[in-house]
Amino acid sequence: MERRGRVEGKVAIVTGAGSTPGPGIGTGKASAVVLAREGASVLLVDLYPERAAETRKLIEEEGGTCHVFAADVTKADDAEAMVDAATHTFGGLDILVNNIGRAQVGTVVDTTEEDWDQALAINLRTAFLASKFAVPAIAARGGGSIVNVSSISALRGDGTIAYSAAKGGMIAMTVDMAYSHGRQGIRVNAIAPGHITTPMVMSVSAPGPRAEFMNAMRSEAGLLGTPGDGWDVGWAVGFLASDEARWITGAVLPVESGVLSVTPLMMAPYLRAIAEPDG
């Protein structure tokens, strides 16, 4: 794809920049590729560097600039080292994309304390620590953009209590960071993806009728009736990171085919057709 230069000369960090093995593309990988296509130098951060290496291969094949950095961003030392690596490798930092996330089904009753703590560590603590060390570096460059990848699970129920709480916390953190750092020239926004299909989603879906039902529902659940994937999130990241969004901060951008506007009643005919295909 042709590089258009919307973030030309900028330096970006994308956490969770590799994709889970499998078909399709994850949100972190797509975000990193989009930013590189738009002219940014990208630090590809992932707990599994071999996954980030696949992202690097794609970026470099297209003529982009990037570097892989292995880190466990639940740890403050790793988060600080990540920011240091970006500034030392590329000369500064302008953009941070907090993309690390993992969902687990469970209600407030059956979710264990260990699952709760792990969900908050993976989905919220990582964004806190990455931002803690990134904000001073971005401010030193005169400002920039932080994009937090949250979820519509923060805005509606779906039986993932710990994940939903963590992603809701990310939205609250987004608003407070926008308030606290706006006069430093730092814009902070969140994206709330909907029922997109990514390798991570597919990896937790057992093959068979149930998986086929879930895949169909992701397309049919929204107002557009079309499937979404990691690229839809990546394109939104590219916009919010660019100067085209220069007057947008403290906002939550749903990327979800209008599913937040759909009522269960509207979905009933489709759900019956899937449940009773011969009816």
pLDDT at 1: 45
CATH of the domain at 153: 3.40.50.720
Q: Is residue 197 part of a domain?
A: yes
**Identity of the residue numbered 203:** S
Number of domains observed in the structure of the chain: 1
pLDDT at 263: 66
pLDDT at 200: 63
pLDDT at 203: 55
Catalytic one among 48, 163, 179, 270?
163
pLDDT per residue, tens digit, the chain (279 aa), is 445 699 999 999 999 999 887 778 999 999 999 999 999 999 999 999 999 999 999 999 999 999 999 999 999 999 999 999 999 999 999 999 999 999 889 999 999 999 999 999 999 999 999 999 999 999 999 999 999 999 999 999 889 999 999 999 999 999 999 999 999 999 999 999 998 887 666 555 555 555 666 666 777 778 998 989 999 999 999 999 999 999 999 999 999 999 998 766 555 554 554 455 443
Q: Is residue 3 part of a domain?
A: no
**163 labelled catalytic:** yes
Q: Is residue 138 part of a domain?
A: yes
Q: Is residue 126 part of a domain?
A: yes
Q: Which residue pairs from 164-172 have beta carbons closer than 8 angstroms and sit at least 24 positions apart in sequence?
A: 165/116, 165/119, 165/120, 166/119, 166/120, 166/122, 166/123, 166/124, 167/101, 167/123, 167/124, 167/192, 169/120, 169/124, 170/98, 170/123, 170/124, 170/127, 171/252
pLDDT at 4: 61
Angle at 248 between CA 246 and CA 254, to 5 degrees: 130
Q: Is residue 4 part of a domain?
A: no
Q: Is residue 2 part of a domain?
A: no
Name the one residue in this structure whose structure tokens are 């039902």. Answer: 213
Domain of residue 55: give its range. 11-275
Q: Is residue 148 part of a domain?
A: yes
Name the one residue in this structure whose structure tokens are 């999130």. Answer: 233
Largest Cα separation within the chain, whole Å, is: 64
pLDDT at 158: 85
pLDDT at 136: 98
Q: What is the pTM of this model?
A: 0.90
Q: Is residue 1 part of a domain?
A: no
pLDDT at 22: 75
